[in-house]
Amino acid sequence: MSSVWTFNSFDIIWVQTGGGPLSATTTLVIKTYKTAFRQWDFGVSSTLAVITFIILTIVSIVYSRFVLKEDL
Amino acid sequence: MKELKMFKHILLYSVIFVFLLFILTPLIEMVFTSFQSMDSVFSIPHPLLPEFHISTYTKEMWEQVPLLPRYFLNSLIISFAVTIISICLASPAGYSISRFKFPGRHLLLLITLSINMFSPVILLVPLYKTMAAFRILNTYWSMILPGAAFTLPFCIWMLAGYFKNIPKDLEEASFIDGCSRAQTLIRIVLPLSAPGLVTAAIYSFIVSWSQQFIFALAFATDKEVMPITRGIYEYFGRNINQWNTIMSSSVIAIVPVIFLFIFLQRYLIQGLTAGATKMQMLKKMKNMRVAIAQIEAKPGNKEHNIDKISKYSQKASKKGARLIIFPELSVAGYPNDFSRKALKILSELVPGPSTDLLLQIAKKHSIDIIAGLAEKEGNKIFDTSLFVRENNVEKYRKTHVHWTEPFSPGNKLEINDTIPGGLGILICFDASFSEPARILTLQGAKTIAVPSAVPESFGKPAQMRMIARALDNQIYLLYSNLCGKGFAGDSMVVGPRGEIIVRAGKSESLLICDLDFAFLASWRKEEKIFPGRRPELYGKLTDVR
C-alpha cells in the first residue's frame, strides 16, 4: 500500500526539487503535472496519466488479490 | 523469562523512539527555524540552542506575504466544505452498503476505494477541462469538489464498517415505533455512530487540508481563493527563500490540524460513552414493562373496586410498569344477577364518574390503565374495557358476548398504535375465536390484552386458548383474569412463541413483565407465519355464516 502512495507522491517532490535538477527527481506523476501545467500539452499529459493509471491498476489488482480478499 | 520480557520491552521502545525521532525531527527543526533570523538559519556550525526571535511571527511573516490571513481562511473554508460534503454523502452511501444486499455490493465498494489508489495528479487534466467547462476554475469549488471526491471513498468504507456494528434490532425497534428508513438513519443510526462520524470528519478535514495544495496549484491561480498550503509557496524564490518565515507560516498551517486532532479526540471518547448510554436508552424503549393485576372485584361495590385499582396502579407504577391491565368488569364487578334491572343499576355512562376516577388514577401514577365496566348507552348495555391514559380515554366494547351474558355486542376491532408495539384489546370470550386476535394482529398489534372473567371450572381450557392466540399471531398476550369466589385466576403473560412468561396463582396478585419487541421481531423473522399466509384461500371466513 505504501509503495502505491509513494508512487503517487507529488507534493513533497514538487516542493523540494520541482522534479529537478535536470529531471533527476522527476517521477511519472511530476512529469504528468509538468506536461499539463507548465508546457500546457494536455494531450501528452493525458497519455502519461493513462500510463500511470494502468500501472497503478495492475498494482492495485495484485494488491487486492492478496490482501483485501481477507477483509471482504 | 523475566529478562527476555525486559529485553523485548527495551527493543520495542527503542524502535518506537527511532521512529518518532525520524518523524518528529523535521517538525522540531521547523519550529526552531521559525524563531530564527535569516542570518542564523544557515550559520555554520548550526547552533544547537537556536536564537529566539518572536518577530518572525509578529512582523516579518505578515509583511512578506500580507495575504496570509486570507489564505488561512480559504483553507478553513475549503476543508470545512469538503468535510461536510463527504460526511453528508458518505452516511447514506455507507448505510446502504452495510444494510441492503444488492448484487455487486462488494465490487462497488472496491471500485470506489480504488480511487484512493491514484494520485489526484492523474486526473488533473480531465478535471481541469471539466472545471473550465463549468467555469469554476479559480473558485473554491475547484478545490472543494475534487477534494470531496477523494475523501469520500474512505469515508464510505469507514462508515459502512461502523454501521454494520450497530445491532439491526435497534433499527427494527424504531420501525415498530413507526419511523421510516430515513428517520431511523437520522435519529438512531447516526447518533450511535458519532465516534465513526467524527473519525471520518477528522480524516476528511486533514486530507483535504493537505490535498488542497495540488488542486490549488492546478486550478487556482487567483490569490483570493488560494489555500495556505499553496500560500506558503509565496515565500519561496523571489531573491532568496525566506526560510524562517516559510517555517513560521508552516507552523501556522499545521496548527489547526493538530488542534483539531486534540480537540476532537476528546470528543471521540465522549461520543463513545454517549453512544453506549443511548444504546441502553434504546434498549429500554424497545422493551415495555407491563403489569397485570389479578384481583377480586366486588359486584356492585365500585368504590371498593376503584380503590383497589388505585392501589395496584400505584404499586405497578413504582415497579416501572407503563401499562396495567385489570380483569373484565373490574370496576363494576362481575354481577351475580344478570337481570336487566340489576344491570341497569350497575351500568354507567362513559365518560362518567368511574371514567373520571380512572383518569385521576392514571394521571396521579402516570400509568396507562385498562379496566372494565358495564357501559350504558341509550337502552343498550355493553361490556366495555377502558384504555385510560393520562389525558384521554378510549373504549373497547366486547364484540363476542358469551351466551350467558345479556350485554349488547360492540362492533369494532381496532388497535391503539400510540404505544410501542400497537395494542389490541379483546375481552374474555372474544379470545375463544381465532379471528378477532388475527384481525388485530394484521392491523399491527404486537400486544393483545385480554381482560377476562373466566370461571374456575373453565380455567385450563381458557389458559390453552390464550397460549394458542399468542402462538398463532406471534404476539404478547396479557391475560388478566378475576380471582376469588368462582373465578379461575391463572392470569399470565404469554410470549410470541406461546411460552408462558409469568403466571399468577389463584389469589390476588400483581404480575410484572418486560415485553421485548425486538425479540418478537426476530421470532417473526425466524418463524415466517405472516409472509406465508394465503388470504386468497380464506374468503370463506367471511362468506360462510
SS3 annotation, B439-498: HHHHCCCCEEEEEECCEHHHHHHHHHHHHHHHHHHCCEEEEEECCCCCECCCCEEECCCC
What are the residue boundaries of the structural domains of chain A, listed by start? 2-71
**Residues of CATH 1.10.3720.10 domain(s) within chain B?**
35-284
Topology given in CATH for the domain delimited by B295-543: Nitrilase/N-carbamoyl-D-aminoacid amidohydrolase (3.60.110)
Residues of B in contact with A33 (CB under 8 A): 121, 124, 217-218
Which position has the grid cell 415495555?
B288
Percentage of the residues of chain B whose pLDDT score is greater than 90: 38
pTM check: above 0.95: no
Between strands B447-452 and B476-481, the pairing is parallel
B108-133 pLDDT, tens digit each:
887 887 777 777 787 888 888 888 89
Residue position matching grid coordinates 409469568: B502
Alpha helices by DSSP H, B167-301: 168-176, 181-184, 190-192, 194-219, 228-231, 243-286
Is B375 strand, coil or helix?
strand
Cell readout for B140 is 473554491
Cβ-based neighbours of B183, under 8 Å, separated by 6 or more:
B174
| Structure letter (DSSP) for residue B513 | E
A10–chain B Cβ distance below 8 A for any pair: yes
B50: DSSP letter: -
Q: Which of B205, B94, B116 is nearest to A68 (CA)?
A: B116
Options 1.10.3720.10, 3.30.460.80, 3.40.1190.20, 1.10.167.10; CATH for B35-284 is 1.10.3720.10
Residue B224 three-state SS: helix
**Whether the Cβ atoms of residue B522 and residue B169 lie closer than 8 Å to each other:** yes
Which 3 state secondary structure label does DSSP give B40?
helix
- The residue of chain A nearest to residue B124, with distances taken between CA atoms, is A33
Of A10, A46, A59, the CB nearest to B125: A46
Phi, psi dihedral angles at B251 (to 5 degrees) = -60, -50
Which residue, among A5, A31, A32, A35, would best test binding to B if mutated, counting the most B CBs under 10 Å from its CB? A32
The per-type count for chain A, helices as H runs and strands as E runs, is 5, 0
Burial B187-200 (b: 16+ CB within 10 A, else e): ebbbebbbbbbbbb
Q: Is the peptide bond before B47 cis (omega within 30 degrees of 0)?
A: no
Residue A72: the pLDDT is: 43
Which tens digit of pLDDT belongs to each residue from B368-390? 999 999 999 988 999 999 999 88
Residue A16 to chain B, least CA–CA distance (Å) = 11
Average pLDDT over residues B282-292: 75
Distance from CA of B269 to the nearest CA of A (A): 26
The strand pair at B393-397 and B380-388 is best described as antiparallel
Of B425, B423, B388, B427, whose CA–CA distance to B407 is shortest?
A: B427
pLDDT 10s digits, A17-36: 666 666 776 777 888 888 88
With cell 380515554, the residue in question is B393
Q: Which residues pair with B514 in a beta bridge?
A: B289
Prior bond to A21 cis, omega within 30? yes
Q: Residue B167: is its pLDDT beyond 60?
A: yes
Q: How many beta-carbon pairs below 8 A join chains A and B?
A: 66
- Rounded to 10 degrees, the C-alpha dihedral B112/B116/B120/B122 comes to -80
- CB-based contact, B111 to chain A, within 8 Å: no
pLDDT value of position A71:
47
